[in-house]
Structure 1
Amino acid sequence: MSSNALHFEVTHTCKTTKARVGRLKLSRNHTSRGPIETPVFMPVGTQGTLKGLTPEQLHQLNCGLNPQLREQSVKEIIKRDCPGYAIGGLSGGEDKDEFWRMVTLSTDYLPKDKPRYLMGVGFAIDLVICSALGCDMFDCVFPTRTARFGCALVDNGQLNLNKQIYEKDHRLIDDKCICPVCQYGYTRSYLNTIVTKETTACHLLTIHNVAYQMRLMSRIRQSIIEERFPDFIKEFVSNYYQDKDIPQWIINSLKSVNIEL
């Protein structure tokens, strides 16, 4: 049941991975929205589910990840010729090596001319990896929720501005950031003094975190268009982990799309 309410066009593809850049247009009640450039991150607010259950308890209830069932599901749903497809059930703390395999299994089967929306995924490293695996759209409460805990997102993870080490740190959150918070000169030390006392801190960090996610997706799109996405990934992963060991799931997932770290 194809719909004129959604139009999606792939404009560029990565020659190495499954990543692509697309343009999405929405029309409803004679009102047009867009174009929206993909890959795109969409900040949202949702309520958590299945709180209080361990992974073992979920497994006992026959919950979990099954590649055969997911393959059966994707084959059946594409018969319906939907305007786009959501990939769900992968943002609840699943084992990362299973997570990426379910993502790439889904994108292998989903139509190339329809948008693929990976639900509830928002960590920066996940956005980069899953773009490489062929996903177009992401949403998550992470950038806004982590702001409420006093954390700012940067390329090597996040800064917990509650910590004492930032009391006399007069640097910006990120000197490369063009968000209003960084451009207006709010320093780490200033945010440290108000982060547990004033709601203003939450507001400022939310602005920065959402802007960070948007800028990250813009960098991903631009690197695909300029045919340097594999190099972008290698540089991003190197900066993200710095002196730490790169998790094996990242090495495995990128190897599956022809990127060797």
Structure 2
Amino acid sequence: MSASARKTAPMPDDIRAMKGGTPIVTLTAYTTPVARMMDAHCDVVLVGDSVGMVLHGLPSTLGVTMEMMEMHGRAVARGLDKAMMVIDMPFGSYEESPQQAFANAARLMRETGAAAVKLEGGAHMAETIAFLTARGVPVMAHLGLTPQSINTLGGYKVQGRDTQADAMVADARAVAGAGAFSVVLEKVPATLADRITGGIEIPTIGIGASAGCDGQVLVVDDMLGLFTAFKPKFVKRYATLGEDGEAAIAAYAADVRARRFPEPEHTFADRAQGE
């Protein structure tokens, strides 16, 4: 990936400027080939800590490490020329103090080439967001269902209903005021997502929120049908690659056992014949 090629990618200020305009297209990626597929189509590619569940078989995102994020971040960066890369800060890497957050955010950006980091939390993370942005670390915030907090949220539940709505609006204003360039709204009622979108000056990126958000994000393995352990209501599957892949593997296994594969065209002669 050349330096000149990377100059074509948007930067956090460009994403912020998309507020109220053409919706921001975001997907997660964890590998070079998948990043290459989405590079021409996405504004933002997120190296999500969801990698722990969809690629590593972990029960939640809590077991994801800095080393895992660095490895997958470097892989994704190799596949991008046009989209902006954002990387998740894993659980335990930023909550202790703003200083801890800066050290780990700087490490992730330095090791992967990410243009920004994403972290979870509202008003209680505003000091940390301000600390990071003042030191050259662009921050994408994340409100609503914050997967790193599932143990305190009581599972993967919709957030922001009833009396929680005003608090989430306050959280959104806090992260925007602290300098975040955008905020993910996950699994919140559509009316609340619209209220937040209209009430802050930075873009909202919805996942299980509202079509009225300034952009949308999905986990790529969900929308391609590769991750099939469960399907959240907010996921639209644009392909069934998991089913297709399993069928292909079954066909391969049947051909091997029946000695239908390899065929002559898949093997080599004693003398070179154009292979």
TM-score range, shorter chain: 0.3 to 0.5
Q: TM-score, normalized by length of structure 1?
A: 0.33
Structure holding more strand per residue: 1
| Structure exhibiting the larger radius of gyration computed from Cα positions | 2
Q: TM-score, normalized by length of structure 2?
A: 0.32
